[in-house]
Chain A
């Protein structure tokens, strides 16, 4: 249990069986009145936001949340399977939790898991990954502008926007937070 005076920006709390994280926090005290802890928070599963105000006497549930690192192992046809680097214990993750990030999973890459009541609710991949471009219009030689782009596909079919000078067979770096092209690593 947390008491209201523990509340601060970044703290994770539990309300009605759901995990929330405080994104903004303000201590208020209207003249002669009770202290109020004003919080804006984000639901860690749905992402929706809300505002809630606590009094000093309020008690707040502490969520059963842990963070740990897991290696990506393989896709079993239904789930993405990760394994613990120390125990080799496996965890199967539903595609819905990963969303588009699933396109950026690379075997044996170390990912950060936020686990709530034994269920992963957020998985953070290595920020940058390298992928080969398997399909795009031929590059325009000498055009190094990066603000003009064209579509390109990586090996698993995911489409990104790349600068015109990128060719099929080039290796590019992709930012997994945004799913966007970052830079060219090597030419075909």
Chain B
């Protein structure tokens, strides 16, 4: 084990404590939900790891935490492992740590401001200030920018996000043109995804072309994804059916129906917003690590 890893693991530990304190102070309570689950959320491009006996390792704790919301949990957070098959790179591992949190009654913009505050406090606790020195430039986390997905695509790729999304060119342009420009000077929230990329977010009541979804970036790195949660059970089941059909058509592993989550939808989800942050990536940013293996014992 190298000295750098040990040093970073200490920073990671301090960060865990700071983040927990931040959530407690905001009246969240910490939960743990099963890692081995009967049915992952069917998504187009997220592969779960089968765990045997018909079960799967969770790709995120999302469905279980929403079940808790449906029981009236209110504000909850969780820090734990999640698993995504086939993901391996500088910023990816099949096993990684997710920080996921939900707040009933908060809209997705309020959750963004809260998330910016959490990141800033975390940075102050482990680096002593809001400025990070990354790739030869200074990023000040006190700077918070909001940009819509369509504005970002127009500005950095010269195209309409809606058009490229419909033409299935969204992901390439995102990686090659847009992402490197995000979070250059601070924290950037990339907001309001085209409706066809809503995932589990509800559509905006004022502009149904977009979904209440944001992703947060610092120094070109995606740190987290958030939704104004879709609470309409009918619409949610329709989206999952479409994702299942996509998976079937592409010869991907098909998942069982997430029955417990469907019961939660029938029971009724409160209006809520939720976010998942890659905890390893947050640690990478605050330690300056270039590879996830430098901040997590893999």
Contacts and interface: CB of A to CB of B under 8 A. Distances in A.
Interface in A15-67: 26-36, 38, 53, 56-57
Contacts of B30: none
Interface string B162-197: 000000001110111001000000000000000001
Nearest to B216: A31
A33 B86 contact: no
Interface residues of B, number: 23
B86 A30 contact: no
B127 to A, nearest CB: 25
A2 to B, nearest CB: 16
A54 to B, nearest CB: 10
B117 interface: no
Nearest to B89: A27
A5 interface: yes
Nearest to B224: A31
Given A30-B179, A32-B225, A53 B90 contact: no
Contact of A30 (B44, B89, B222): B222
Given A5-B86, A38-B175, A29 B92 contact: yes
Going nearest first, the 10 A-B pairs with the smallest beta carbon separation are A27-B89, A33-B171, A30-B174, A28-B175, A31-B225, A34-B45, A31-B215, A34-B171, A32-B199, A30-B171
Interface in B6-58: 43-46
A26 B199 contact: no
A35 B86 CA distance: 9
B87 A30 contact: no
Nearest to B214: A31
Interface in B126-173: 170-172
Most B-side CB within 10 Å, residue of A32, A35, A38, A57: A32
A36 B172 contact: yes
Contacts of B114: none
Given A26-B89, A27-B88, A30-B179, A35 B172 contact: no
B45 A57 contact: no
B170 A33 contact: yes
A6 to B, nearest CB: 12
Interface of B: 43-46, 86-90, 92, 170-172, 174-176, 179, 197, 199, 215, 222, 225, 250
B250 A33 contact: no
Given A35-B45, A36-B175, A57-B250, A28 B170 contact: no
A162 to B, nearest CB: 40
B88 A33 contact: no
Nearest to A30: B174
A32 B92 contact: no
Contacts of B87: 27, 29, 35
Nearest to B222: A31
Contacts of A31: 215, 222, 225
Given A30-B179, A32-B46, A53 B172 contact: yes
A40 to B, nearest CB: 12
A32 B175 contact: no
Contacts of B172: 36, 53
A53 B45 contact: no
Given A28-B89, A57-B250, A33 B45 contact: yes
22 contacts: A5-B86, A26-B89, A27-B87, A27-B90, A27-B92, A29-B45, A30-B171, A30-B174, A30-B179, A31-B215, A31-B222, A32-B43, A32-B46, A32-B197, A32-B199, A33-B170, A33-B171, A33-B174, A35-B86, A35-B87, A36-B175, A53-B176
